[in-house]
Structure 1
Amino acid sequence: MKTILITGCSSGYGLETARLFHQQGWQVVATMRTPDPVVLAPAERLRIVALDVTRADSIGQALALAGPIDVLVNNAGIGLFGAFEATPMATVRDIFETNTFGTMAMTQAVVPQFRARRSGLVINVTSSATLAPFPLVAAYTASKTAVEGFTESLALELAEFGVRVKLIEPGYGPTTRFASNGAQRMQGLLPEAYMPLAQSIFATLGQSSAVTTEAAVAEAVWRAANDAGETLRYPAGEDAVELAG
């Protein structure tokens, strides 16, 4: 029975991915900053572990509780929508701290057990924003693009030891908590001069029927975890698949 550890399971893609793998008979270690039994309750083959990917001590404690794992899914991330001109550099650093450095720190902590065992899989969740330019998400896109480059190089680096690395690229997910989770962080990031652009983007997104669901991302992670081939990228969601094409 394989074990998967997923970060960022308090909502959205991480939560749905944890549910899917559990339903498929895997042992699941679902992590979140503040475990909430209302969101996801412990069950047979399902453990809920507190984890803040920006803190080395939290990463160490979580991995000690998890024990040996076969798959790591770096899903934890925070969103940001706004004009880069108005975005404080402290906010940019916060985005990178979770989205980029958190992913790298988790991976670095897990790789030794994978390398020693000569098996294991790291799956990094980025965004379809890396597939095509998109306005008003410059800092967010930068944080995810950095993960793409990191993953491409790491896949070559770890292949020598039988360890695989893959990317999931979700599209626009209107049912996720991307906006609500970052509401406070985004205050003041849309000056009046940028409002017409923002309104046109919101209108376009509202009219699009091609979007990404939590289930689509969970299914992409499932495919990646069970694919022994050399595929690196897995676009997730109808819109992301269109962009990748």
Structure 2
Amino acid sequence: MPTILVTGCSSGFGLDTARLFLDRGWDVIATMRTIDAAALPASDRLRIVELDVTDPASVTRVVAQAGPVDVLVNNAGFGVPSPIELTEPETARSLFETNTLGTLAMIQASLPGFRERREGVIINISSSTTLKPLPLIGLYRASKMAVNAITESLAQEVHPFGIRVHLVLPGRAPETRFGANAMVHLRGRNDADYGPMIERILAGMQDRSGPVTHPSDVTEAVWRAATDPASPFRLAAGADAEAWMAEASG
């Protein structure tokens, strides 16, 4: 059976991706910063591994212990909506260290094995916000745009070695923790100037009346990228993401 390694599996897209590939018969290495074995069903095809993508020693250890894998999904990441003016420097650094440099670390650690076997798939979870500027997510968006740039060049660099590389761009996903985490972070701010904008954006994050991205949209996009050699380099995940991609390309 093929093997997939997925980062950031404690919740959200990573958790659902691990479940989907388990259900479809794959061997799954599900990594998470803090182990929660209850998050996934017991299976002899599942390994749950502690991983901090911002810790080089942790990345090296996990990739070595994983052994040969067929697909790497870089999903670990987080978002902290905040006006750029009010974003603490440590928060900005953490966004890039996790979302961008953590993805880079996993790629660099995994590529020697892929190159040696002359096969493999790397799937990086980005964001449809990279297609369209929005307030309060400038630094999150910047960290994901950096992932896009890395992935675009990487695809060209490793194609001669038989390695496929893909970007999956989810849209707004009210069913995940992103909106709830945003509410906790932003509701703590009492800024007279940014307050109305914050309330409007928070309401939009939780609005389920229009086109949104469901977790299944993302997992199916990852499945397509992993299993279909003819799948496009960029895969929009969700009706809203597809609309934004069409708008950006048109």
TM-score, normalization by structure 1? 0.94
- Name the CA distance, whole Å, in 2 between partners of 1:90 and 1:189: 17
Deviations 1:172-224 (A, max 9, x none): 11111124456676575663211112222334442642111111100110011
1:143 paired with 2:131, answer no
Equivalent positions of 1:10-159 (< 5 A) are 10-159=10-159
Structure 2 counterpart of 1:237: 238
Aligned residues: 245
Computed over aligned residues only, the root mean square deviation of the Cα atoms, in angstroms, reads: 1.7
Structure 2 counterpart of 1:211: 212
- Name the CA distance, whole Å, in 2 between partners of 1:21 and 1:207: 27
- Name the CA distance, whole Å, in 1 between partners of 2:190 and 2:17: 33
Q: Is the 8 A contact 1:49 1:65 kept in 2?
A: no
- Name the CA distance, whole Å, in 1 between partners of 2:140 and 2:155: 23
- Name the CA distance, whole Å, in 2 between partners of 1:137 and 1:177: 16
Q: Is the 8 A contact 1:83 1:190 kept in 2?
A: no
- Structure number with the bigger relative contact order (C-alpha 8 A, sep ≥ 6) is 1
Deviations 1:121-161 (A, max 9, x none): 10000001001111110000000000001100000000111
What residue ranges of structure 1 are gaps of 5+ in the alignment?
none
Q: Is the 8 A contact 2:81 2:185 kept in 1?
A: no
CA shift in 2, pair 1:207/1:109, >3 Å: closer
Further displaced range: 226-235 or 106-115: 226-235
Q: Is the 8 A contact 2:32 2:49 kept in 1?
A: yes
CA shift in 2, pair 1:171/1:190, >3 Å: farther
Letter of the 1:19 counterpart: R
Q: CA deviation at 1:88?
A: 1.4
- Name the CA distance, whole Å, in 2 between partners of 1:223 and 1:190: 44
Letter of the 2:230 counterpart: G
Deviations 1:84-113 (A, max 9, x none): 000012210100000000000000000000
CA shift in 2, pair 1:204/1:91, >3 Å: closer
Q: Identity over the aligned pairs, expressed in percent?
A: 51
Letter of the 2:16 counterpart: E
Letter of the 1:76 counterpart: A
Letter of the 2:36 counterpart: D
- Name the CA distance, whole Å, in 2 between partners of 1:32 and 1:109: 17
- Name the CA distance, whole Å, in 2 between partners of 1:225 and 1:5: 11
Structure 1 counterpart of 2:191: 191
Further displaced range: 82-91 or 61-70: 61-70
